[in-house]
Homo-oligomer: A and B are copies of this chain.
Amino acid sequence: MLIVMDRTATQADVEGVVAAVERMGLRAHPIPGVQRTAIGITGNRGVVEPTALENLPGVLEVIKVSHPYKLVSREFHPDDTVVSIGGVPVGGTRVVLVAGPCAVETFERTVAIAVAVKARGAHLLRGGAFKPRTSPYSFQGHGEEGLRMLAAAREASGLPVVTEVLDTGAVDLVARYADCLQIGARNMQNFELLKAVGKTGKPVLLKRGMAATLEEFLLAAEYVLNEGNPNVVLCERGVRTFSDFTRNTLDLAVIPAVERISHLPILADPSHGTGRRHKVAPMSRAAVAAGADGLVIEVHDRPEEALSDGPQALTPDAFGDLVSQLGPIAAAVGRSL
């Protein structure tokens, strides 16, 4: 924390700030400058938020310096974390491909898609049984029946299953079926849900919220780690901006940013990140080139009939074509598929 004093601040103002800081159990370090004084603050963070200082006389601005995350930070854990999802390592040298339908629809179709994506190179199966839908009138998923479809598809294909959980009340149920619990973008700051999936110890795929800063994203992961669960995989899926030719703006620079300050693996989801089928392949290639630890891609055998997000799903063959493009790019960044 740094307090910047107004250039007209008096010596008494500076002393007032120092006294207030010390009453909080922190240490104040005044730095007199040519035009103004700044006051550095050190000490452990307490319950009181020192931003309250900005209303003291003579204070121009309060600048936060340290970040509140710890467990997710590379400073505290220098080596890369590798999360095992049903035996598939995420965060190692292999680029992981998570593929499947947006929502699971029938046993037959779910199995068929799982087998098809497995045959074309997928390592994990995705699919929603509980769907967060913007409108109450849209298809909301098949619930537990959908989880059974995913289990059948795992059985048939051998692919471990990643599926979303929407509510604390359903965490135990979903955890019985899934190999990895997905927290969707809309729930990134549903802190009770983060604590609940943290307590399961299961791998968690945490999607970035549509308006989340990097610090907020990492703090959401911190909630899970703070429950004793280190198995968090981050996922960039696009943020909300003015840019209107895609459904969201895929912020790929978050990949090297996370790599620099956190030890957690990070995937990209170009399907939700663009919302348009013809942009999925270019942005998938881009994400791998930027260093993503894997991709989450929607695949549907008949996208035009999909009950959810059809326009962004690839066919299994288009997915296969994409996989063949990704191999040389993974190799160019020292990885493999």
Q: Is the CB of B68 within 8 A of A135?
A: yes
Give bound CA distance, A16 to B255, whole Å.
29
Give the interface segment out of A81-89, A121-129, A172-180, A281-289: A281-289
Question: Once bound together, how far apart are the Cα atoms of A333 and B282, in whole Å?
Answer: 9
**CA of A213 to CA of B216 in the docked complex: distance in angstroms?**
21
Number of copies: 4
Q: Which residue of B lies closest to A131 (CB)?
A: B191
Binary flags per residue of A177-202, CB closer than 8 Å to B gives 1, else 0: 00000000011011111000000000
Let me know if A250 is at the binding interface, CB within 8 A. yes
Closest residue of B by beta carbon distance from A32: B42
Note all chain B residues with C-beta closer than 8 A to A308: 49
Q: Is the CB of B47 within 8 A of A139?
A: yes
A290 an interface residue at 8 Å Cβ cutoff? yes
Question: Which of A93-101, A108-116, A151-159, A241-249 binds B?
Answer: A241-249
Flag if A42 contacts B52 (CB, 8 Å): no
Instruction: Give the residue of B75, B226, B241, B329 whose beta carbon is less than 8 angstroms from that of A241.
Output: B241
Decide if A241 touches B245 in the complex (CB within 8 Å): no
Which residues from B are CB-within-8-Å of A226?
A: 136
Interchain residue pairs A-B with the least CB separation, the first 6: A33-B42, A211-B211, A289-B289, A285-B289, A328-B332, A186-B189
Having A242-B242, A253-B283, one finds 12 other A-B pairs with CB under 8 Å, namely: A4-B66, A6-B75, A29-B31, A36-B66, A52-B306, A132-B189, A134-B216, A135-B222, A166-B190, A169-B192, A249-B249, A253-B279
